[in-house]
Amino acid sequence: MEKQLQVYIDGKYYPKSEAKVSVFDHGLLYGDGVFEGIRAYDGVVYKLKEHINRLYSSAHMLMLSIPMTREELIQKTLETLRKNKLRDAYVRLVVTRGAGDLGVNPKNCTKPTVIIIADTISMHKDDAKEKGVTAMISWVKRDPVDATSHEIKSLNYLNSILAKIEANMAGVDEAICLDKNGFVCEGVAENVFIVKNGKIQTPPSCSGALPGITAESAKTLAKQLGYDVSEKNVTPYELFNADEVFFTGTAAEIVPVREVNKRSIGDGKPGPIARRLIAEFSKMVRDPKEGITI
Ligand code: PMP
């Protein structure tokens, strides 16, 4: 029999089929919790510290106290990968409010649930990087920064799910959400970049997009390569008329977009800047200095 993945829940490991939480867990009942998605490449857990810090920031916003130190969580993540003998993997860290009473109030949830899953993920088609993906602007606006915006990486992903359903129905690969002012915000689980006349632009953090760790890497790489990179409001017009558009995300990595709402982007093929960043990014993620070695 194939050996099952071992999932960490609150200090113990369970085979995948037995890895369960209470139906009274407020993570399930109300989406009350936070998470991270992290990749390991050839034994290096890319930007693990940054992901852990973001998890704690999301939890801080929710006044959810993670019952272990950052260092302990790092060590448990590495241990979960070692236990599953995974060197190229996708790790999902989840901390929920824990089990409580029925009713939204988190007051009676006394013990947060900590879950670590180490598995693999595939987000876009195999040829997405070579051919680019199609996208559409969805009618679903991103929640603003004074609501449950994706700045908090919480278990509330309905905003993204509604947009993704629209993309599925329209037969395109991915959805892009605008912010409430009509500017481009982000993809379903990716940040968005455009390139115009050799300049790289991405929406500012006040758009309500998640401060993406891959986006940060793409900006650093692009600056190192000498490109002009700026954060600015991007209109749908600028998106449609960009020379290049690309997504960044832990699961997606860097993916060129070849078409948005049936308008071809540039010549409809991945552009030179996206291709260069993809090549450099694949080196960066394997550099032990950029992460923590299992
Ligand atoms: N936006 C959203 C809504 C996401 O869920 C993700 C994936 N975590 C991203 C952007 C990309 O962020 P990162 O590069 O840190 O994975």
58 lines ligand 1 (CB under 6 A): no
**pLDDT, mean of residues 68-93:** 97
Alpha carbons 197 and 271: distance in angstroms, whole number? 12
Nearest ligand 1 atom to alpha carbon 250: 16
Measured between alpha carbons, how far is residue 213 from residues 20, 53, 252, 254 in Å? 29, 11, 12, 12
Structural domain for 90, as ranges: 6-119
Q: Are residues 41 and 112 in the same domain?
A: yes
* 229 belongs to a structural domain: yes
Check pocket membership of 37 for ligand 1, CB cut-off 6 A: yes
Q: Which amino acid is at 27?
A: G
3-state secondary structure of 75: helix
136 alpha carbon to ligand 1 midpoint, in Å?
Answer: 18
| Alpha carbon separation from 76 to 82, 94, 154, 249, 270 (Å, rounded) | 10, 13, 21, 23, 39
CB 136 within 8 A of CB 175: yes
In tens, the pLDDT along 262-293 reads: 999 999 999 999 999 999 999 999 999 999 99
% of the chain exceeding 90 in pLDDT: 95
Helix (H, G, I), strand (E, B) or coil at 133: strand
How far is ligand 1, taken at its centre, from the CA of residue 269, in Å? 24
Per the CB < 8 A criterion, the answer to whether 179 and 232 are in contact is no
140 and 105, same structural domain?
A: no
Q: How many domains does the chain have?
A: 2
Query: Quick one: pLDDT band at residue 123, thresholds 50, 70, 90?
Result: confident
Query: Across the chain, what does the average pLDDT equal?
Result: 96
Q: Is the pLDDT of residue 126 over 90?
A: no
Q: Which two tokens stand for residue 198?
A: 């050799």
Q: Please indicate, yes or no, if residue 52 is contained in any of the structural domains.
A: yes
Position 45, amino acid: V
Q: Is it the case that residue 2 has pLDDT exceeding 90?
A: no
Please answer whether residues 257 and 133 qualify as being in contact, where contact means their C-beta atoms are separated by less than 8 angstroms: yes
Helix or strand holding residue 65 (H, E):
none
Q: What is the value of pTM for the model shown? A: 0.97
Select from 153, 159, 210, 220 the residue to mutate for testing ligand 1; criterion: most ligand atoms less than 8 Å from CB: 210
Ligand 1 center to 232 CA (angstroms): 18
| Range 128-137 average pLDDT | 96
pLDDT in the model for residue 91: 98
Q: Which of 153, 196, 199, 283 is catalytic?
A: 153
Catalytic site includes residue 153? yes
202-217: average pLDDT: 95
Task: Please say whether the beta carbons of 90 and 38 come within 8 A.
Answer: yes
Are 81 and 185 contained in the same domain?
no
Given the CA of residue 214, which atom of ligand 1 is nearest to it?
A: 14
pLDDT number for residue 1: 58
Question: Among candidates 260, 256, 264, 271, which has minimal Cα distance to 234?
Answer: 260
Give residue 170 CA to ligand 1 midpoint distance, Å.
23
Which SS3 state, helix, strand or coil, does residue 142 take? coil
- The torsion defined by the Cα of 134, 194, 147 and 54, in degrees rounded to 10, comes to 100
Does residue 19 sit in the same domain as residue 100?
A: yes
Which residue, 89, 119, 149, sits at the end of a domain? 119
The answer on 62 and 152 residing in a single domain is: no
Residue 294 located in a structural domain: no
